[in-house]
Structure 1
Amino acid sequence: MSARTGSAAAGRSPGAAGLVDPEELLGRAEDLVSTARPGEQIDVSLGASVDTEIRAYGGAIESLSSARSEGALVRVIVDGRSGVATATLTDPAALAELLVEARTNAADAGVDPTAAVASPDGVRPPDIELYDARIEALSVDDKADLALSLEAAVLGGDARMCGVEGADYGDSVIVSAVANSAGVRAAQRESGAGLSVYAMASDGSETQTGFGFAVGRSAEELSVERTAADAVERAVRLLGATRPPSGRVDAVLDPWVTAQFLGVIAEMLSGEEVRKGRSPFADRLGESVASPLLSLLDDPTDPLGPGASRTDDEGLACRQVGLIDGGRLTSYLHNSVTGAALGTASTGSAIRVGSSLNVGPRAVRLVPGSTTRQGVLASVGDGILVTEVSGLHSGVNPTSGDFSCGVEGLRVRDGEVAEPIREAIVASTLQRMLADVIAVGDDESWFPIDAAGVSLSIQGLSLAGS
């Protein structure tokens, strides 16, 4: 019997050939904007995508889906009153109906003096290529083979591997367009592909898990072997883990852990959080907030980042935004609304969540240091290497910066990794953690979140163990 199941498994990938061209999508948005009445502002965001998800389990394809979707958002602003309407169609007739609905909603809305569409700011979108046409040439069979091969590579990677919770392949192609009555015009096409796997290793009655993943613009950029090896290593190295003794320890954060912390910190540098007083970094521009070794930026102009983009969700050009420079806080992230509210301008950081316009990072990263990973380990001498955290988002107080989260990883002795640890909790404040960095690694890695990471060593974290 074939390892593949489901009627969609055979034949060619449906790909993105049926998606509307970005310029055609932009034309639809522009046509709607051109109908603005005197004193009326119109903002139109359109998008369409095709997404494929495949999971291998037990040597067969457990699930396979390929879905197309469309979305439209029309916003009308009249005398400070905003009305929004959304739909899952982008054809001209549907958009005309949305405009009527948005106008009706605006008439019933309260007055917001800050309500306005974004105005062009003269910044040109970065010249980056975010679409790889090879993603459309890969058949469903080939995609399924990647997932099956990933599962097999994990199970064959070590005699102690006892199972795989799921080996997944996914890809997407997205086209989008934004236009408004202030003159903003933007359209783009993007592609993305990824592998992920959660693996289990056992030794006697003990079982540990590990993960591996890879991201790229097409399947050709993904490595089954490297993804499987990462999952195997992460699972096997935790076998025999015990709770470490409590106390204050120096710690090295694995790049994956650093990336998660950076994502949380970048959210606190959102202009929306700052203007509402919900950030420990509010009103601190120009101040020292971190070690001089740290320079933090949001860089959606780097095509290696999964969140890279030519324009933000208001249609303004994405750009590199320096947030911390040599330890000094230099900027917050803004959309047009928060920028105006705080007396500055948008940083091209608008993000739509549903019908709401928010602000946030797309590709936050530290400027890599010149220290090798081994050098970062040597900088702590004796301490711990944190390879995974749990409960980070729920364990952070977004106003004070206090945090506590579960950790697992390895002891570090004389700059070398030693026995594994688990069931421990680290606690500190994000501000103190940033200030107490003693080494920054050169091993930058991108992950399928809005951040990249490097190995990072930090002095004096509070560790609760045995």
Structure 2
Amino acid sequence: MDPQRLLELARKNGAEAAEVYLSQGLGRSANFEANRLKQVETGDEEGVALRVWRDGRPGLAVAHGPVDDALLVEKAIALAQFGQPEEPELAGEPLLVESRPHTPTPIERLIAWGEQTISLVRERYAEVLCGCTYSEEVGTVRLINSRGLDVSYASHHRSGYLGAEWVRGEDFLQVYDGETVLGDPSPEAVAAPVLERLGWSQENCPTRVGTVPVLFTAKATTVLLGTVGAALNGRQVLQEASPWSQKRGEMVLSPLLSLSQDPQLAPYITPFDDEGTPAIALEFVRAGRLETFYADRRIARRLGLRPGGNGLRSDLGSYPQPGLFNLVVAAGEHAFAELLSRMDDGIVVDQVLGGGAGLSGEFSVNIDLGFRVKGGEIVGRIKDTMVAGNAYDALGRLAALGSERLWEGNVFTPALLVESLAVTGRAD
């Protein structure tokens, strides 16, 4: 398919401006269930989204697989009559993109990694049932528009995921972890955190109830940081729904916290967004002080911000909206053992059930996997426990940050030690 031809057809049919967004993806995975290989999957997909502006109104049409150019243009033009009037916001900045070379991974290698990971767990815990997936994703994006922009980028990454189920009578425990990398995932690195948590869970113990210190591992910090991501969204700021809409330059979080985005941070390297805007480094919060927000091109213009490459599509059929491709939390100074040593009696939250806080910041979540800390050491697993509070308040009262950072979704973060939160559960 020739995207330039689509632009020409759009212009001939009365479009004042147009863009073509093409994506291709190839994925393969080896999936294990109950310690055995269950299935091997391979899939590929390709699609194109044509966005046009006619008579000052936008229209969007999507096709998957083979494309009938004339029909796609006809649909986009027809849909434009129902769009809300707007000025086109098309990128045109020159951009040099270098894609990293990639060699496909044989499916046999994905299987071998999975078998090795499960073996590492069962050597120590033979009764544990493991689910495991090793996968490889390869994708290509090309964006061309009527302003002369024509950019493309190829991406790839490999992932390893491990889930362990341990049934002891009526006691059911589930632990999971994983990693995503540009190179080869390490079975040892995937298995290690699961083995560590299985060790911490050897004994069950009562929780500490009341207002107590709470340590969120990197895996659980999204309970708090999801609220921050929403508050930094330029759309929420423009609508004055964000509590930070009028607080640029003010202290909004603990001085221990600095939040940014880094488009060159592996494995989620992002040269440009889904509007073709170059992705740039942004510092959202510096030592607790609010510096800026993230936005797509349209909202950035209305807020007087420099576009940072944050116009993202949830799928081909969606218009670009403000989105975070990563949220980077600056590391602290304390190893995990040192964070524990700062807690005389408290809890560690590692996995939660349900979502975190919304824009209000209020949250109350069940702890799926958590641990009791006494005298600076983990003494066992806690059950039937809830933690509640306000995310903004909690992130304003941090006692310490961990020195090691991990990816959890699109967030690269250390563990966070909160001075105190309300905890309910089975007490001593």
| TM-score, normalization by structure 2 | 0.91
In structure 2, which of residues 120, 124, 130 is the aligned counterpart of residue 157 of structure 1? 124
In structure 2, which of residues 63, 88, 105 is the aligned counterpart of residue 87 of structure 1? 63
Does residue 262 in structure 1 map to residue 229 in structure 2? no
Match of 1:133 in 2: 102
Match of 2:82 in 1: 109
Q: Is the 8 A contact 1:203 1:239 kept in 2?
A: no
The AA in structure 2 aligned to 1:403 is F
Match of 1:143 in 2: 110
SS at match of 2:177: strand
Superposed counterparts of 1:155-304, under 5 Å: 155-159=122-126, 161-164=127-130, 166-218=131-183, 220=184, 222-259=185-222, 261-304=224-267
Does residue 56 in structure 1 map to residue 19 in structure 2? no
SS at match of 1:345: coil
In structure 2, which of residues 72, 87, 99 is the aligned counterpart of residue 98 of structure 1? 72
Change in 2 beyond 3 A, CA 1:382/1:262: same
What is the rounded CA distance, in whole Å, between the counterparts of 2:332 and 2:373 in structure 1?
21
What is the rounded CA distance, in whole Å, between the counterparts of 1:153 and 1:360 in structure 2?
38
Match of 2:288 in 1: 327
Change in 2 beyond 3 A, CA 1:245/1:456: closer
In structure 1, which of residues 401, 404, 411 is the aligned counterpart of residue 364 of structure 2? 404
What is the rounded CA distance, in whole Å, between the counterparts of 1:335 and 1:430 in structure 2?
25
Change in 2 beyond 3 A, CA 1:345/1:79: farther
**Once structures 1 and 2 are overlaid, which stretch shifts more, 418-427 or 319-328?**
418-427
Change in 2 beyond 3 A, CA 1:239/1:112: farther
Question: C-alpha deviations, 1:384-411, integer Å up to 9, x for none?
Answer: 2211222124xx232x211111223222
Match of 2:44 in 1: 68
What is the rounded CA distance, in whole Å, between the counterparts of 1:246 and 1:342 in structure 2?
45
Question: C-alpha deviations, 1:259-300, integer Å up to 9, x for none?
Answer: 553244213311122223332322221111101111001223
Shift of 1:202: 3.9
Shift of 1:235: 3.3
SS at match of 1:338: helix
Shift of 1:132: 4.8
The aligned length equals: 421
In structure 1, which of residues 120, 131, 149 is the aligned counterpart of residue 92 of structure 2? 120
**Once structures 1 and 2 are overlaid, which stretch shifts more, 346-355 or 370-379?**
370-379
Shift of 1:117: 2.9
Shift of 1:66: 0.5
* Structure 2: gaps of 5 or more residues: none
Q: Is the 8 A contact 1:50 1:172 kept in 2?
A: yes
What is the rounded CA distance, in whole Å, between the counterparts of 2:34 and 2:348 in structure 1?
33
Change in 2 beyond 3 A, CA 1:389/1:174: same
* Structure 1: gaps of 5 or more residues: 1-24
What is the rounded CA distance, in whole Å, between the counterparts of 1:261 and 1:70 in structure 2?
36
The AA in structure 2 aligned to 1:111 is Q
SS at match of 1:152: helix
Shift of 1:204: 4.7
What is the rounded CA distance, in whole Å, between the counterparts of 2:123 and 2:213 in structure 1?
36
What is the rounded CA distance, in whole Å, between the counterparts of 1:157 and 1:95 in structure 2?
59
SS at match of 1:99: helix
Shift of 1:59: 5.1
The AA in structure 2 aligned to 1:175 is T
In structure 1, which of residues 358, 372, 377 is the aligned counterpart of residue 321 of structure 2? 358
In structure 1, which of residues 421, 437, 460 is the aligned counterpart of residue 398 of structure 2? 437
The AA in structure 1 aligned to 2:372 is R
Match of 2:411 in 1: 451
Shift of 1:205: 4.3
Does residue 29 in structure 1 map to residue 21 in structure 2? no
Q: Is the 8 A contact 1:263 1:451 kept in 2?
A: no
Shift of 1:128: 6.8
What is the rounded CA distance, in whole Å, between the counterparts of 1:43 and 1:260 in structure 2?
37
SS at match of 1:215: strand
The AA in structure 1 aligned to 2:415 is S
| TM-score, normalization by structure 1 | 0.84
What is the rounded CA distance, in whole Å, between the counterparts of 1:267 and 1:300 in structure 2?
19
SS at match of 2:392: helix
SS at match of 1:292: coil
Q: Is the 8 A contact 2:17 2:88 kept in 1?
A: yes
SS at match of 1:446: strand
What is the rounded CA distance, in whole Å, between the counterparts of 2:117 and 2:223 in structure 1?
25
Question: C-alpha deviations, 1:182-229, integer Å up to 9, x for none?
Answer: 2332200001111112102244542311112121124x2x11122123
What is the rounded CA distance, in whole Å, between the counterparts of 2:420 and 2:35 in structure 1?
46
What is the rounded CA distance, in whole Å, between the counterparts of 1:283 and 1:196 in structure 2?
41
Q: Is the 8 A contact 2:204 2:383 kept in 1?
A: yes
* Root mean square deviation, CA, Å: 2.3
The AA in structure 2 aligned to 1:118 is L
Question: C-alpha deviations, 1:141-173, integer Å up to 9, x for none?
Answer: 2222222322232222324x4212x21111111
The AA in structure 1 aligned to 2:269 is A
Change in 2 beyond 3 A, CA 1:234/1:101: same
What is the rounded CA distance, in whole Å, between the counterparts of 2:191 and 2:307 in structure 1?
41
Q: Is the 8 A contact 2:208 2:346 kept in 1?
A: no
